[in-house]
Chains A and B, each alone.
Chain A
């Protein structure tokens, strides 16, 4: 009778072990090169978030939430941040926030260009898509093993794992956003003589922005989840609080970490979710106000042009 275990004649585990060991030994400069920008951005973020006073961070967060999302989200953000401080895990929360903001920066810098490339080349998408499938279906724990082998343990290798896990949604949504731009819009661009580059910058990217921001929201949430998991390979932050609680069977400590994670995640989700909603009345006020700021020079001209119209009521004013 054939037993399933008899078929286990390929020592795949040993091969991979050897393979990774070989890679770790021989491609070390490559991984150092990957690690360096991650480390740089992460340390900068940790430094900023740890050094900026508590009240200043709350103020900035409230302002951002108000301008990007709404007054309600701003209130929630204030309450959430104060609650985190009250739980006594402020410093850990800021480390986690650093992990997430770093992931946002690096994922945007790498993911959006890859997404654009995928949207413009079916061949590239054909290569990238299965990789993304693998990355997104792989359980988050599984990332940790090669990361430890290749990058070591600690907060910076943890960040590498966070970035790796968080990048796929942004690549997918960027690709999708550009491909979903209506054909008539693309044709309009072409019909007026746009070059490929102009088509991308003038038509496709601006119209894909809401979808890309939707991807950013997914990236933030994935980064949030991963920033907790990477505590297992020595990354600091709220994940470490939970892990310590588990290790010591200290349910209270673990719960404190968990509550802080939920508050932080909800805050980040609400802020970034509002970004992705298409600009109806009151939507995307930050983009609007930024645009208004850029245009302030021009609007001054508009006002002088419009003055004949506004002067009409002024003539009738003596009657009043």
Chain B
């Protein structure tokens, strides 16, 4: 994935003359030191990150951690005190008034926590707001508004007023308004935080569904670690204006790196977060007979593969031992092949694997083409759910 947005050494101090504070920060001072010495509030302290194109990049932190400040610096609702923000290589911080306006109109759009819909305008008028500011003709912008409203599932609501809609529907309008301008970067500032839990889950699923086709670059601000895990391709965790941990959801859960981050990861449901590939024992198939390979499972038995790598059957440990002794697979071997093995895909969650597991039956883990890549025993599933260290040869996805 190419890089869409890059933040380099970004500082934000809430003051008209931030230089003394910036000097302190550069010398290694923390937010609290600066506040005590100068009385200035530090929003961001040397934040650098890189957002790949098409990612849902989660910025997570508690209130006061600077996450919203960071989002607002990206489209310069907050003016950064120092540092660079590169959108496709062009520095937003250095942009002049007209260029900034152009960026806000066509490149970066925003979804707000409390929706920020204009109460005196209909849903359709709110949706076409950005286009109206651009001077798009009424017919064209109404057409576009209807288009995006149907994308977010509000096709019939164009002529209603925001106060007639539920919270979830209002945020759909907020999303539609952000999508209408065709900006490729979307800033979602705690976009789902004001919604009640059921609607929030629904909106998260909706966002994931939309993102599959829209492929926007989304910078999503949240204080909810579960939300970050569910939506994020990458997560940046902030505290006191600093970036304390950045990485894929899985890597952060596995290696929090600090007590602050570990406090968030403690409650994580690993059975949903980690997949079968992560917990499985990889296999090294060995030739068994003409056109057949054997992949041993840990318990002394094995899975028999055809030359395409697909599992054709399982052998229990006794049969396998018998075959080894005679060193001849032949018809008796085929006759002993069990068909009651269980198959899960690599991308299935450990929860799915646990559900599929049956005592006494070997579990085969296969890739997208159905080729065997590993086996998964009950103890590995349990270990994976219970936060065991990663298997030396197991891979994290992403």
CB of A292 to closest CB in B, whole Å:
11
B78 (CB) vs chain A CBs: closest residue:
A187
- Residue interface bits A169-213, CB-to-B below 8 A is 1, else 0: 000000000000010110111111111001000110011010000
Chain B: interface size category: 20 to 34
Q: Which residue of A lies closest to B131 (CB)?
A: A192
> Is A192 a contact of B104 with CB atoms below 8 Å?
yes
Q: How far is the CA of A4 from the CA of B70 in the complex (A)?
A: 65
Q: Indicate whether B15 reaches chain A with its CB closer than 8 angstroms.
A: no
The reply to whether A184 and B133 form a contact with Cβ atoms under 8 Å apart is no
Question: Min CB distance, B85 to chain A, in Å?
Answer: 15
Q: Which of A97-138 contact B (CB under 8 A)?
A: none
- When the two chains form their complex, are residues B101 and A187 in contact, meaning their CB atoms are under 8 A apart? no
Given that A198-B133, A202-B132 are known contacts, is A192 also in contact with B109, CB under 8 Å in the complex?
Answer: yes
A182-B116 Cα distance, complex, nearest whole Å = 9
Complex interface residues of chain B between 86 and 132 (CB less than 8 A to chain A): 101-106, 108-110, 112-114, 116, 118-120, 129-130, 132
User: Is A3 located at the chain interface by the 8 A CB criterion?
Assistant: no
Contact between A191 and B120 (Cβ–Cβ < 8 Å)?
no
Query: Could you tell me if A194 and B133 are in contact, using CB atoms closer than 8 angstroms?
Result: yes
Distance to closest chain A CB from B148 (angstroms):
14
Docked Cα-Cα span, A184 to B191, in Å, equals 13
Contact A302 B75 (CB under 8 A): no
Tell me the dominant secondary structure on chain A's binding face.
Answer: helix
Q: How many A-B residue pairs have CB under 8 A?
A: 63
B359 close to chain A: CB less than 8 A: no
Report if A191-B118 is in contact (Cβ < 8 Å); known contacts: A198-B133, A202-B132, A202-B133.
Answer: no
A-B contact pairs, 22 of them (CB 8 A): A182-B116, A184-B113, A187-B77, A187-B110, A187-B112, A188-B116, A190-B77, A191-B77, A191-B104, A191-B187, A192-B104, A192-B105, A192-B130, A192-B133, A193-B102, A193-B104, A193-B105, A193-B133, A193-B134, A195-B101, A207-B120, A279-B120
Q: Does B65 touch A at the CB level, under 8 Å?
A: no
Q: B179-205 toward A: CB 8 Å interface, digit per residue (1/0)?
A: 001000001000000000000000000
| B328 interface contact, C-beta 8 A | no
Chain A residues contacting B109 (CB-CB under 8 Å) are 191-192
Residue of B nearest to A309 (CB): B156
Within the assembled complex, what's the spacing in Å between the Cα atoms of A41 and B122? 37
Q: How far is A309 from B101 in the complex, measured between Cα atoms in Å?
A: 41
Counting chain A CB atoms within 10 Å of each CB, the highest count among B102, B106, B132 belongs to B132
Interface centre among B105, B114, B133, B187 (most CB of A within 10 A): B133
Residue of B nearest to A291 (CB): B120
Please pick, from B101, B105, B110, B159, the residue contacting A188 in the complex, using a CB distance under 8 A: B110
Task: Check B116–A184 contact: CB distance below 8 A.
Answer: yes
User: In the complex the two chains form, is A193's CB within 8 Å of B116's CB?
Assistant: no
Nearest 5 A-B pairs (CB), nearest first? A193-B105, A193-B104, A188-B116, A192-B130, A191-B110
Which residues of A, 141-189, contact B by the 8 Å Cβ criterion? 182, 184-185, 187-189
Residues of A near B104 (CB, < 8 A) are: 190-193
Report the minimal beta-carbon distance from A312 to chain B, rounded to whole angstroms: 13
Given contacts A192-B130, A193-B133, contact A203 B105 (CB under 8 A): no
Q: Identify the closest chain A residue to B97 (Cβ).
A: A195
- Kindly list chain A residues whose C-beta atoms are within 8 Å of the C-beta of B102: 193
Residue from the list B101, B113, B114, B156 in contact with A193, Cβ < 8 A? B101
What are the residues of chain B within 8 A of A207 when measuring CB–CB? Answer: 118-120
Closest Cβ of chain B to A35, distance in Å, is 38
Contacts of B106 in A (CB 8 A): 193
A209 to B104, CA, bound (A): 27
Contacts A187-B116, A190-B77, A193-B103 supplied; 12 other A-B pairs, CB < 8 Å: A187-B72, A187-B110, A188-B112, A188-B116, A191-B108, A192-B105, A192-B110, A192-B177, A193-B106, A194-B133, A207-B118, A279-B120
B134 x A184 contact (CB < 8 A): no
- Name the contact of B75 in the complex, choosing from A182, A191, A209 (C-beta under 8 A): A191
Contact of B112 among A184, A194, A302, A309 (CB under 8 A): A184
Known: A184-B114, A193-B133. A206 touches B120 (CB 8 A): yes
Distance from B156 Cβ to chain A, minimum over Cβ atoms (Å): 8
